[in-house]
């Protein structure tokens, strides 16, 4: 009998989206794997350590979580590791989600900082000031025609004076 574990350690595994496993027995650049599988990116599968509870209750139905790290085309797939092919659409979807989450997190931080500044300086919150601004807009839009005439007469108008020419 041979040592099967030694053979597995001397190979690298590529998992395709269809579920097919491909074993290679030599290091290969990620760019070559991507060239052989157009529209796909190569990612390294990193198993997360199991907690003590998971180790004690280990059975076939337990799902082991993993982390996926995208590889650059310049990186090389090494023996003894497992890799997964991911479609370009999935990569773009994840990147958009990360970007959205980051911008949302940044805006929430800015809002919290702004509220803390307002509270520390004794100013009213943004919600209070916007409510007051809306009330003022409503009141100004309800002006009667008499009030509108009075407001127009108070507005600035240029006064033009004629310039007399001095005769010689």
Query: Whose CA is closest to 82, among 69, 93, 63?
Result: 69
Burial of 147 (0-12, 13-18, 19+ CB in 10 A): exposed
Model pLDDT for residues 108-136, shown as the tens digit of each residue:
988 888 888 877 776 555 556 666 766 77
Please report the pLDDT score of residue 38 as a whole number: 93
Res. 4: pLDDT tops 90: no
Average pLDDT of the chain, as a whole number: 76
Residues 6+ apart with CB under 8 A from 11: 23, 24, 25, 79, 80
Angle between helices 126-141 and 88-121 (to 10 degrees): 80
Percent of the chain with pLDDT over 70: 58
Domain ranges, ordered by start, for the chain: 4-49+62-88
Q: Which helix (H) or strand (E) holds 152?
A: helix 145-154
CATH of domain 4-49+62-88: 3.10.20.30
From 94-98, 103-107, 152-156, the region with the lowest mean pLDDT: 152-156
């Amino acid at each position: 009998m041979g040592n099967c574990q030694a053979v597995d350690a001397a190979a690298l595994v590529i998992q395709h989206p269809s579920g097919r496993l491909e074993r290679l027995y030599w290091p290969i650049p990620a760019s070559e794997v991507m060239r052989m599988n157009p529209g796909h990116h190569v990612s390294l599968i990193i198993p997360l350590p199991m907690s003590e509870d998971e180790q004690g209750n280990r059975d076939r139905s337990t799902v082991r979580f993993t982390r996926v790290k995208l590889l650059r085309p310049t990186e090389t797939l090494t023996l003894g590791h497992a890799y997964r092919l991911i479609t370009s659409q999935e990569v773009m979807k994840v990147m958009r989600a990360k970007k959205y989450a980051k911008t949302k997190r940044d805006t929430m931080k800015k809002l919290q900082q702004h509220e803390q500044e307002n509270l520390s300086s004794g100013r009213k919150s943004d919600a209070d000031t916007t409510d007051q601004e809306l009330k003022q807009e409503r009141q100004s839009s309800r002006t009667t025609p008499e009030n509108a005439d009075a407001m127009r007469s108070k507005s600035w108008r240029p006064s033009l004076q004629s310039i007399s020419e001095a005769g010689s």
